[in-house]
Structure 1
Amino acid sequence: MTKVWDAFVSERDRRIFRAAGYGVQGEKPARPALLLIGFEQRHLEGPDAVAGAREAGEKARRLMVQCRAKGLPVIHVAGPTPSDGHPGPHENGEATSPVGGSDFAANMMPEPRDIVLRRHAPSAFFDSDLMSFLNLLGADGLILAGGQTAGALRATAIDAFSLNLRVVIADDACFDMWQASHAIALCDLDAKYADPASVEMLAEWIETLPANAFALPAGERVKP
């Protein structure tokens, strides 16, 4: 099967990979959560738009809808800079507002039962409640999609691996500013830390998982 990184990997590297046993398919998580990174409006349109982000979002949306229907956790991660452009406290000393609806692309809006986080560094795990949420839900792994592939997505995948989570990546639902960094990042993750696969293949696997296995948030405001 042709991989996106094939055009960037030399025959010498292929021999080394084969000899070292890199790229062997790992065991998929039994209780995965879908983690969507960087599907914000500013990445799809305007001066900060990233090549391939819109196409990746269309692919990721299929997984998002399927995971919701299956009862799997859906977690949205926005970037470190909020939509008002202020990365830290405002002049009046108040803390930066939490992630708002304006951060996300129209077709990737969180729903009430989804979890929404803002990352403060490349990895979504750094200085966030992500691992606490995964522990609370009893998730043993992640389905990753988003970008940028060589930045936030790669950093998050490596931290997940380091925390003994099983990681699969929707490789055709990822995006990066540069084709080479996108391809080589996926190559490195495939070799060491995660299992990239197409949305089509992941969708077939998700269908085999038991439905409603998680105690997800009710998605309703509790009356005082």
Structure 2
Amino acid sequence: MSQEQVYSDAGFGQSVPRGTRPAIVVVDFSYGFTDTQYPTAADMSAQIAATRSLTDKARALGLPVIYTTIAYQPWERDSLPWLKKASGMAALLAGSRLVEIDAATGIQPADPVIVKHGASAFHGTNLAGLLTGASVDTVIVTGATTSGCVRATVVDAVQSGFNVLVPRDCCADRAEAPHEANLYDMNQKYADVTDAADIAVWLDSLA
């Protein structure tokens, strides 16, 4: 039996309903992830450009665009379990350039920036309340990394009651294998994995 058949027989891979009030959450396109002078980063220029094509459109339609960054205080470096497992993340100190959103994303002064201390953009933040307050019913998740913070955000978005879309060409990772494996798994269980062109057409249909 094929892998696709196994998932289909188990009832996975159904289509996600699309609402009428989407928001775009751009996960961790900060310099610590996007500027390759830092060891925690990778070249994400293509994914940033694809994401920007959507965020520019969303703003023009009056839809929320929200960014996230990971930023730690010095005292957290020795106390958080995640930083013992992923010690490179300890370089993401509050106030440093590494935690600033990459200007190539086209971030605007009015765009909210959620500061998080773990993988999910929902855990320990006010993101769910921000989305609910804006009457959002569908969350488009982009950013980095696909296998880490994007996936964690997608799972928590579903668990927070939102329909979720993931444009694959707007998500970046440090390696191809975890990128593809997690896109596949998210598409089966939590979100519709699509692309920027499809999302753009849908956003235009809402105008």
Higher deviation after alignment, 96-105 or 187-196: 96-105
Inter-partner Cα distance in structure 1 for 2:145 and 2:98: 20
Cα offset for 1:30? 1.8
- Provide Cα deviations, 1:9-49, integer angstroms capped at 9, x if missing partner: xx731221232342222211321111001111222221335
Query: Are 1:130 and 2:127 counterparts?
Result: yes
Which of 166, 173, 177 is residue 176 of structure 1 equivalent to?
Answer: 173
Higher deviation after alignment, 45-54 or 137-146: 45-54
- Provide Cα deviations, 1:131-187, integer angstroms capped at 9, x if missing partner: 111121111121110111111110110011111100001111101112111111111
- For the structure 1 residues 23 and 176, does the alpha-carbon distance in structure 2 shift closer, same or farther, using more than 3 Å as the test? same
Indicate the residue corresponding to 1:157 in structure 2. 154
- For the structure 1 residues 123 and 165, does the alpha-carbon distance in structure 2 shift closer, same or farther, using more than 3 Å as the test? same
Q: Please, which runs of 5 or more residues in structure 1 have no aligned partner?
A: 1-10, 90-95, 211-224
Task: Give aligned-pair identity as a percent.
Answer: 27
Instruction: Give the residue type in structure 2 aligned to 1:19.
Output: D
Query: Are 1:12 and 2:2 counterparts?
Result: yes
Q: Which has the larger radius of gyration?
A: 1
Which of 97, 100, 104 is residue 103 of structure 1 equivalent to?
Answer: 100
Q: Verify the 8 A CA contact 1:99 1:116 in the aligned structure 2.
A: no
> When the two structures are superposed, what TM-score results if normalisation uses the length of structure 2?
0.83
- Computed over aligned residues only, the root mean square deviation of the Cα atoms, in angstroms, reads 2.3
Inter-partner Cα distance in structure 1 for 2:116 and 2:19: 23
Inter-partner Cα distance in structure 1 for 2:191 and 2:96: 28
Inter-partner Cα distance in structure 1 for 2:120 and 2:40: 21
Q: How many residue pairs end up in the alignment?
A: 191
Indicate the residue corresponding to 2:190 in structure 1. 193
Q: Please, which runs of 5 or more residues in structure 2 have no aligned partner?
A: 78-92
Query: Are 1:75 and 2:66 counterparts?
Result: yes
Q: Secondary structure at the match of 2:168?
A: strand
- For the structure 1 residues 87 and 136, does the alpha-carbon distance in structure 2 shift closer, same or farther, using more than 3 Å as the test? farther
Indicate the residue corresponding to 2:18 in structure 1. 28
- For the structure 1 residues 157 and 76, does the alpha-carbon distance in structure 2 shift closer, same or farther, using more than 3 Å as the test? same
Indicate the residue corresponding to 1:6 in structure 2. none
